[in-house]
Amino acid sequence: MTCMVHIEFQARPAAIAEMLGGLRRILPDTRAREGCVSVSVTRTQDDPNNFAFVELWDSRAHYERYFAWREETGISQELATLVDGEASFRFFDLVGL
């Protein structure tokens, strides 16, 4: 079943340019990963340091395999240094209405 992954985080203000550069570098590999349907990066209109990813995956298992791969490559830890606090991860099923 298709899974929507919603990831929200607060970027450190001094790290915005580095964050955007890192995302530009890694997103092509994310989008090419098996099971990835789409990835959208959004930024809150009222707080330019607040970002959310809206991702569609063929299944939660596909996303979890992808995330494990990112952990192995070290990119998750690298990007975590650019974030204030913890990112919020939520997983949704599409209702189809």
CATH architecture assigned to 3-93: 2-Layer Sandwich (3.30)
Q: Distance (Å, rounded) from C-alpha 3 to C-alpha 12?
A: 29
Report whether 78 contacts 25 (CB < 8 A). no
pTM of structure? 0.91
Over the stretch 23-66, which tens digit does the pLDDT of each residue have? 999 999 999 999 999 999 999 999 999 999 999 999 999 999 99
The reported pLDDT for the residue numbered 80 is 83
Q: What are phi and psi of 22, to 5 degrees?
A: -65, -40
Which DSSP category does 46 fall into? T
The reported pLDDT for the residue numbered 37 is 98
* Position with higher pLDDT, 4 vs 1: 4
Q: Is the pLDDT of residue 78 over 90?
A: no
Mean pLDDT of 65-75: 93
**H-helix segments, 8-94:** 16-32, 60-73, 75-80
Domain boundaries, the chain: 3-93
The reported pLDDT for the residue numbered 81 is 86
What is the chain's mean pLDDT, rounded? 95
